[in-house]
Each structure stands twice: as structure tokens, then as C-alpha cells.
Amino acid sequence: MGRGKIEIKRIENANSRQVTFSKRRTGLLKKAQELAILCDAEVAVIIFSNTGKLFEFSSSGMKRTLSRYNKCTDSSESASVEYKTEKDDTKMVEILKDEIAKLETNQLRLLGKDLTGLGLKELQHLEQQINEGLLSVKERKEELLMEQLEQSRIQEQKAMLENETLRRQVEELRCLFPIAERVMPTYLQYHHVERKNSFVDNSVKCPSFARNCANDKADSDTTLHLGLPTDVRNKKTPEKKKISNDS
């Protein structure tokens, strides 16, 4: 006959419980050893009795197996944490996408587009928002204009102060170094004087021509004064030339 099934529950009798523990512990350690040998697996078994006594088996060393177990546990925990973080990020991305879509829709409505699905109350609310925005824009514009006006006034005051300072410095310099005021000739006066100087220079460069002109003028004046005829004057001129050659 086959062995009947045993109900899996705590054995109330202490002696029977101790006997069963010893038998099953030995069988479990034996099965772990066989598993490690047959399947080339790294097996470790740790057993604590109800009295606190330790029983263990390890095919490759308990410390090595435990360190490997801790690494695998940490990696699995990090993997689970990464998966959870990725899942949370995905949810956040979806939420942000929905918010962006809502904001784009509101922007289009503020620009007067995509108004087909709005009711009367929604349109009134939208109109109120636009009016409030216009008031805010106008207030900000007035503030900027006032600031620019104030800056212009400040710059004007600075320029006036600088001009006053420069004027005082000029007056002080005039008091320290008095200079006689001279009337500067105009362009026409200067040009007239320059022409006179050019005539004088030409007369200096040609003295013989000037003397001849002066002699002719004197002779003509003398002839006119004496009332001599013109041929006498013409005869008189070569005589002068002859006398000058003799001399």
C-alpha cells in the first residue's frame, strides 16, 4: 500500500515535532547537495530550529553565495525602482501633454479662434479675460512711458547742470586770462585786401614797367597842361629816348 498524505500543519507534540524536524532537515540538505552536484548549481540552505540552532549548507561557500544574493537583490530592487520611476515619469508626461493641449486651446480662444464649441457663459468669461488683459497691458504701457519721461527729465537736468558748470569755467578762464576782443574781418574784406596785395606784388616784380607808366603819365599831363599838339608829344618821346641813350 502507498503512503498516505500527511496534513501540512504544525505538530503539537514536541517530541514528534523534533523527530520530524531532524528527518526533514537531513533530507532537505541532502536534496540541496544533490541539486548542486547534478545540475551544477550554486545552492545555499540556511535553517534555524525553534530553539535557535543554526544549520546550513552551501555548495560554493556561504559568504560568496550571500554576497551574490545581495547583489542580485540590490539589482532587482534598483530595477524595480527604475521601472516605478519610469512609470511615474510616463504618467507625468501624459499629464503635461494634457495641460499643454488645454493651454494651446485657451491661447487660440484668446486670439479669437476655435470658438465653435463655446456657449454663451464661456464666451462672456472669455470676453472678460480679454478685457482684463487689455487693461493690464495699458497700465503697463503707461508705467513704461512715465519711467521714460522721468529718465528724460533727469537727463535734461544733468545736461543743464553740466552747461552751467561749463559756463562758469569759461567765465573764470576769461577773468584769469583777459584777451582784447578783435573784430575779425569778413570774407569780402579779406578778399579785397588780398587783391590789393596781389597788385602791389606785381608792381614790385615789374619795376621798369611801373616807371615807364609813371613817366608816360607825367609827360601826358605836362603836354595837356601846356596845350601842345599831339605830334609835338610824339616828337618829344624819341628825344627823351635819345637823351636817355646818350646819358
Q: Are 49 and 27 in contact (CB under 8 A)?
A: no
pLDDT (0 to 100) of residue 179: 56
Question: What global pTM score does this model have?
Answer: 0.33
pLDDT (0 to 100) of residue 71: 85
pLDDT, tens only, 145-177: 999 999 999 999 999 999 999 999 998 888 887
Q: Are 57 and 44 in contact (CB under 8 A)?
A: yes
Residues of the chain scoring pLDDT < 70? 1-4, 79, 178-247
pLDDT (0 to 100) of residue 39: 93
pLDDT (0 to 100) of residue 86: 78
pLDDT (0 to 100) of residue 126: 84
Helix (H/G/I), strand (E/B), else coil: 56: strand
Cα–Cα dist 103/126, whole Å: 14
**Architecture field, domain 14-85:** 3-Layer(aba) Sandwich (3.40)
pLDDT (0 to 100) of residue 3: 66
Residues 6+ apart with CB under 8 A from 172: none
List the one residue out of 63, 24, 23, 26 whose CA is nearest residue 44. Answer: 63
List the one residue out of 44, 87, 41, 82 whose CA is nearest residue 62. Answer: 44
Other Cβ atoms less than 10 A from the Cβ of 10: the count is 5
Please provide the size of the chain in residues. 247
pLDDT (0 to 100) of residue 191: 56
